[in-house]
Structure 1
Amino acid sequence: MQVDFYQLSRDPVDRVLPAIAARVLGLGERLLVVAQDEAALGRISAGLWNGPPETFLAHGRAGEGAEAVQPILLGQDCSAANGARHIAIADGLWREEALEFERTFYFFDSLTVEGARQSWRALSKREGVTPRFWRQEQGKWVQGP
């Protein structure tokens, strides 16, 4: 199980997540995006809709119906009603249920960095979990040490 830690230093999650979601969908997979705050989910939804037409990212919100057919499902918990095997934690708050997925994208910023550090230390000691760290450099994501 792979956990990719993304340190948001330049762009907010609603601007970064669409590119990752597009890659997940390009692999023929589905994605669950989790954030506790409804306003954050609204910004993420807008980010997914507002890309160029060739990168249209269809998605829906948990609780609105038709969850099972959504390639990208936005919700407040780790329930993948769309059958996703990939999860994006978009609010910097680690959830143990994320370990039930094949791959986790864990986004954190300066407000949630301490929790990310604690999660990194704990996950790096767990058997079967491969954590990787990514940071933005000159507009590109670079894998860190």
Structure 2
Amino acid sequence: MQVDFYHLTQQPLDRVLTRIAERVVEGGGRLLVVTNGEEQRVAIDRLLWTYTPESFLAHALAGGEGDQAQPILIAADPAPANAARNIALADGVWRDEALTFERAFHFFDADRIAEARIAWKSLAERDGIERRYWKQNDAGRWEQAA
């Protein structure tokens, strides 16, 4: 199980999340995007339809009849109604339920760095978990720092 910690310092979540979602779907995977905030779920929904003029990422807000068919599902909790094996924690809150997935993307900013450090340290003690910490360099490119 792999957990990727993304420290958002220069690019906002919407720029990073869309690229990761694209990669997951292009690789034939499914993604569950989790955030507690309804406003953020609606914003991510809108983003995935409009983030680039030439395309969109097929997705839905959880709770509809076709949840199981969605390559990307946006939800308030980490229950993958779309059978996703990848989870993106978009609100900066770590959830241990993410460990039931094959890969977790944990996004956090300066407001959530203390909680991210606690999650990072707690995962070090667990078998079978590969942790990666990503940060942006001065040019805005992502580099693996740990």
TM-score tier, shorter chain, comes to over 0.9
Task: Describe how 1:6-85 pairs up with structure 2 within 5 A.
Answer: 6-85=6-85
Alignment deviations for residues 73-112 of structure 1 (CA, whole Å, 9 cap, x no partner): 0000011000100000001111111000000000001111
Compute the displacement of 1:49 (Å).
1.3
> How far, CA to CA, are the matches of 1:10 and 1:55 in structure 2?
25
Compute the displacement of 1:15 (Å).
2.3
What SS does the corresponding residue of 1:17 show, helix, strand or coil?
Answer: helix
What SS does the corresponding residue of 2:128 show, helix, strand or coil?
Answer: coil
Compute the displacement of 1:55 (Å).
4.2
Query: Quick check: 1:133–1:143 contact (8 Å CA) kept in 2?
Result: yes
What SS does the corresponding residue of 1:132 show, helix, strand or coil?
Answer: strand
What SS does the corresponding residue of 2:36 show, helix, strand or coil?
Answer: coil
For structure 2, the 5+ residue unaligned runs are none
Q: Could you tell me the TM-score, scaled by structure 1's length?
A: 0.95
Residue 135 of structure 1 aligns with which residue? 135
Query: Quick check: 1:14–1:43 contact (8 Å CA) kept in 2?
Result: no
Compute the displacement of 1:53 (Å).
4.7
For structure 1, the 5+ residue unaligned runs are none
Compute the displacement of 1:34 (Å).
0.1
Residue 144 of structure 1 aligns with which residue? 145
> How far, CA to CA, are the matches of 1:11 and 1:118 in structure 2?
23
Q: What's the Cα RMSD here?
A: 1.1
> How far, CA to CA, are the matches of 2:95 and 2:84 in structure 1?
16
> How far, CA to CA, are the matches of 2:52 and 2:40 in structure 1?
21
> How far, CA to CA, are the matches of 1:5 and 1:55 in structure 2?
27
Query: Quick check: 1:15–1:47 contact (8 Å CA) kept in 2?
Result: no
Q: Compare 78-87 and 60-69 and name the one that shifted more.
A: 60-69
Which contiguous aligned blocks of 4+ residues in structure 1 show a shift greater than 3 angstroms?
none
Query: Quick check: 1:89–1:105 contact (8 Å CA) kept in 2?
Result: yes
What SS does the corresponding residue of 2:142 show, helix, strand or coil?
Answer: strand
What SS does the corresponding residue of 2:111 show, helix, strand or coil?
Answer: coil
> How far, CA to CA, are the matches of 1:97 and 1:74 in structure 2?
16
Compute the displacement of 1:121 (Å).
0.2
> How far, CA to CA, are the matches of 1:143 and 1:89 in structure 2?
19
